[in-house]
């Protein structure tokens, strides 16, 4: 049994070495010995299941391979595959009557029952992502790192690079780091890029003039997005039990930042929807954040708390508190194990162009989006993780979490029937994960 | 105004950290607890990567701990 487990690692080590073209199969084979030598690969694998009530479900698998070489060089390779399916809010408001919407592809329509939040149930996508990172000392107390990122899904391609340098001083008790990353994304959504504020075409999609009319609501088949980030960090060992980290980040996002699948309801003075128009967002966004994290080692347990404050030029601000508390259970369950409760609290304000709906008799704003994800919202996550050591220090862990988003009214007057429908529905999700590290 | 206060509140510990370096920190032989995996700033990188993807898709914020940009068409 033991031999069989070790052989999985050996096989993966050989496969990884072969893929990389590094001619060190002999070395890989030697790693099959149970002793934990330097120069061997470490593998982490995880599967996560995410499911929202009545909305999106997603499965995500990660396989991470890490090798530490003799001279402290570290190679990290990560493969992520995820699949998503289910329904997503299209941005329109709920109504006391049946509503009909056209699918993003333009082929076919879907109906939403009175009182229900309009959800588009056509979302499904599969994504494959690869990350490679190389880290090495370049001088005493100087560590440099560089990496690449490729992510491909049916309608989206993302290419990225990053670089980072870290400088240790004061007996390695303090570390300054500076990094940058750049992503270039291409979006080719099903049905093309909608014309900002064009009315959604609704009617008989078998009509001979349908395709031509639908094409008039489109401005192209694809668009780009670029993201450039700068990250400055400072880490300080406080004492034998405590460590602190401070980050400042500056992020510039440009070009197509609109969600082509999102619409807004245009309502009359009674709150009845008269039209649905495609959303429009600015083509640039500058985000900044400060982040602080503290780790404290009690007698046996470890507390990890972080706080992030983010602000951007869309007037969104957010606060995030994330904490984990790791409680070792010794070997009370026959093997060494730990329990780790997790609590995350999040609050954001709305973007200045966020509008839950538009009024028919009002002039169109320059930009508008009814996407609740850039509206006012609070959210929390509570979870628990149980990890245990198995087979020669391999770790098996289970994580179960509950995530609730509560969008809130940022002070919009609701005309007529909109007072009687749910404009800010909560979203509940379950996150379940299994991790095996060997 | 409140944001400035928050920023100042967060910057003060950084300044204290820098100015107080002489009294902070440990000697190399005092790193027994700091050397433990659970005392690393990114003790659960897989969990963090998965969480980042979820919250990037569902909220208006990303990054901070690390780079927050790009990567998927989920937002």
Instruction: Note whether B25 contacts A170, CB cutoff 8 Å.
Output: yes
Helix (H, G, I), strand (E, B) or coil at B21: helix
Nearest-Cα distance to chain A for B40, in Å, is 8
Is the Cβ of A185 closer than 8 Å to some Cβ of chain B? yes
Nearest-Cα distance to chain B for A183, in Å, is 6
Nearest to B60 among A160, A174, A373 (CB): A373
Instruction: Note whether B64 contacts A289, CB cutoff 8 Å.
Output: yes
Is the Cβ of A426 closer than 8 Å to some Cβ of chain B? no
Instruction: Give the E-state strand segments of A313-370 in sequence order.
Output: 317-330, 337-348, 358-359
Give me the mean pLDDT over the A194-220 stretch: 92
Pairing of strands A242-255, A223-239: antiparallel
Instruction: Give the E-state strand segments of A298-393 in sequence order.
Output: 302-312, 317-330, 337-348, 358-359, 377-390
pLDDT at A391: 79
How far apart are alpha carbons A133 and A77 in whole angstroms?
7
Helix (H, G, I), strand (E, B) or coil at A10: helix
Say if residue B54's pLDDT is above 90. yes
pLDDT at A40: 85
For residue B32, give the chain A residue with the closest CA: A240
Nearest-Cα distance to chain A for B15, in Å, is 11
pLDDT at A395: 94
How far apart are alpha carbons A405 and A426 in whole angstroms?
6
Helix (H, G, I), strand (E, B) or coil at A221: coil
Buried b (16+ CB within 10 A) or exposed e, A394-413: ebbbebebebebebbeeebe
pLDDT at A401: 98
Residues of B in contact with A346 (CB under 8 A): 55, 59, 61
Nearest to B64 among A48, A253, A310 (CB): A310
pLDDT at A34: 39
Residues of A in contact with B41 (CB under 8 A): 235, 243, 245, 293, 295
Provide φ and ψ at A330, rounded to 5°: 65, -145
For the CA atoms of A269, A272, A273, A279, the dihedral, rounded to the nearest 10 degrees, stands at: 50
| Residue B65 region by backbone torsions, left for phi larger than 0, else alpha for psi between -120 and 50, else beta | alpha
Say if residue A129's pLDDT is above 50. yes
pLDDT at B2: 58
- Identify the helix (H) or strand (E) that includes residue B56: helix B45-58
Say if residue A23's pLDDT is above 60. no
Give me the mean pLDDT over the A36-59 stretch: 88
Give me the mean pLDDT over the A148-176 stretch: 95
At residue A335 the predicted structure's pLDDT band, cuts being 50, 70 and 90, is: confident
pTM: 0.88
């Amino acid at each position: 049994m033991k031999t069989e487990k070790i052989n999985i690692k050996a096989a993966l080590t050989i496969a990884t070495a072969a893929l990389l073209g590094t001619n060190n199969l002999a070395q890989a084979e030697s790693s099959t010995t149970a002793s934990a030598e330097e120069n061997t690969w470490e593998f982490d694998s995880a599967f996560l299941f995410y499911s929202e009530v009545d909305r999106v479900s997603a499965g995500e698998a990660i396989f991470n391979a890490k090798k530490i070489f003799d001279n402290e060089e570290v190679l990290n390779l990560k493969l992520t595959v995820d699949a998503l399916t289910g329904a997503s809010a299209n941005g329109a408001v709920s109504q006391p009557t049946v509503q009909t919407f056209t699918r993003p592809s333009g082929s076919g329509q879907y109906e939403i029952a009175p009182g229900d939040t309009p959800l588009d149930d056509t979302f499904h996508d599969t994504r494959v992502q690869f990350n490679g990172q190389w880290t090495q000392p370049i001088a005493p107390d100087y560590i440099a790192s560089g990496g690449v990122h490729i992510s491909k899904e049916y309608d989206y391609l993302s290419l990225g690079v990053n670089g980072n340098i870290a400088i240790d001083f004061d007996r390695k008790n303090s570390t300054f780091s500076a990094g940058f990353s750049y992503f270039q994304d291409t979006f080719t959504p099903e049905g093309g890029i909608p014309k900002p504020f064009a009315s959604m075409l609704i009617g008989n999609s078998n009509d001979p003039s349908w395709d031509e009319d639908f094409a008039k609501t489109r401005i192209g088949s694809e668009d780009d997005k670029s993201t450039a980030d700068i990250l400055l960090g400072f880490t300080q060992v406080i004492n034998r039990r405590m460590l602190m980290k401070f980050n400042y980040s500056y992020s510039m996002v440009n070009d197509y930042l609109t969600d082509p699948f999102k619409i807004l309801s245009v309502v009359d003075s009674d709150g009845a929807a008269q039209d649905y128009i495609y959303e429009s967002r600015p083509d640039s966004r500058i985000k900044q954040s400060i982040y602080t994290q503290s780790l404290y080692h009690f007698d046996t347990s470890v507390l990890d708390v972080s706080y992030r404050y983010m602000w951007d030029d869309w007037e969104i601000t957010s606060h995030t508190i994330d904490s984990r508390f790791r409680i070792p259970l010794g070997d009370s369950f026959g093997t060494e194990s730990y329990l780790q409760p997790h609590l995350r609290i999040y609050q954001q304000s709305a973007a200045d162009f966020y509008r839950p709906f538009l009024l028919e008799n009002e002039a169109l704003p320059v930009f508008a989006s009814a996407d609740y994800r850039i509206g006012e919202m609070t959210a929390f996550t509570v979870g628990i993780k149980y990890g245990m050591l198995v087979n020669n220090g391999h770790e098996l862990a289970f994580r179960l979490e509950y995530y609730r988003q509560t969008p809130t009214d940022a002070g919009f007057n609701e005309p007529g029937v909109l007072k009687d429908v749910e404009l800010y529905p909560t979203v509940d999700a379950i996150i379940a994960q299994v991790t095996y590290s060997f | 105004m409140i944001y400035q206060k928050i920023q100042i509140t967060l910057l003060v510990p950084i300044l204290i950290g820098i100015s107080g370096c002489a009294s902070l920190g440990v000697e190399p032989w005092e790193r027994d607890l700091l050397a433990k995996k659970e005392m690393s700033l990114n003790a659960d990188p897989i969990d963090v990567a998965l969480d980042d993807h979820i919250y990037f898709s569902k909220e208006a914020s990303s990054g901070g701990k690390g780079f927050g940009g790009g990567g998927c068409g989920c937002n």
